[in-house]
Amino acid sequence: MYRIAPSLLSADFARLGEEVRDVIDAGADWIHFDVMDNHYVPNLTIGPLVCEAIRPHTSAPIDVHLMVKPVDRIVPDFATAGANVITFHPEASEHVDRTLGLIRDAGCQAGLVFNPATPLDWMDHVMDKLDVVLLMSVNPGFGGQKFIPETLNKLRAARARLDAYEARSGRRILLEIDGGVKTDNIAEIARAGADTFVAGSAVFGAAKASDPHRYDTILGALRAELAAVKA
Ligand code: DX5
Ligand code: ZN
């Protein structure tokens, strides 16, 4: 019922394949893959070549978070590189409905990402083309930032919209959260309605490269917090 998606942004980029295998072995569900272009956001990261390079290291879904503008040109490249989920920021696309269609036509699940100040209304007329709604709980561009508390209210509002949609359509859209997720706040974030949790610095910051089981403890702790929510 809950998915944990470690963000590679905080991983060791010199050993990405091993990092991917190790977090999945430790119980992670998805690999979160942050794509930044130094244009839409003030940082520059990784692209389709790196996605393709990590693809053989896991069968877990690769969750590509596009922080790029424009969006459409790069979508097929990530689909070919093995992405399973592709999300983008609506402000970065001239034609949001078209971009969602492009992602789905390429065989991937599609999602919209909402910056802290971006209203949820962007989803209203494209619900049928959404598989994931991702709320940013920090301003995009960097790992290791502090969770913005107002996001809890926004999560509750998004949860209500997605539940209402599920009640009338029978289709469930995932609600993902990204930014500042730690063991000490993941439970309240889940209670506010998130079901999919990106965690970068919390997961990869907790590691000593020499320990082959270095991610078991942190993933176990995040899981234990989530298990307490369900109980
Ligand atoms: C920020 C990225 C996040 C980032 C999260 O723009 O979208 O995925 O890696 O990092 P933490 O968990 O450290 O806030
Ligand atoms: Zn992200």
Active site annotation includes 105? no
Active site annotation includes 34? yes
Residue type, 15: R
**Candidate list 22, 34, 37, 131, residue with the active-site label:** 34
Q: How does pLDDT run across 105-120, given as a tens digit for each residue?
A: 999 999 999 999 999 9
Q: What is the C-alpha to C-alpha distance for residues 230 and 228, in angstroms, rounded to an integer? A: 6
**Contacting residues for 161 by C-beta, under 8 A, at least 6 apart:** 120, 123
Q: CA angle, 85 as apex, 84 and 87 as ends, to 5°?
A: 155
Look up the pTM and report it. 0.98
Question: Exposed (0-12), middle (13-18) or buried (19+): which is 133, by Cβ within 10 Å?
Answer: buried
Q: How does pLDDT run across 221-231, given as a tens digit for each residue?
A: 999 999 999 76
Q: What is the C-alpha to C-alpha distance for residues 85 and 78, in angstroms, rounded to an integer? A: 10
Which CATH homologous superfamily contains domain 3-230? Answer: Aldolase class I (3.20.20.70)
Q: How does pLDDT run across 151-204, given as a tens digit for each residue?
A: 999 999 999 999 999 999 999 999 999 999 999 999 999 999 999 999 999 999
Half-sphere exposure of 90 (CA within 13 A, CB side): 23
Answer whether residue 208 shows pLDDT above 70: no
Say if ligand 1 is within 6 A of residue 143 CB.
yes
Say if ligand 1 is within 6 A of residue 138 CB.
yes
Domain ranges of the chain: 3-230
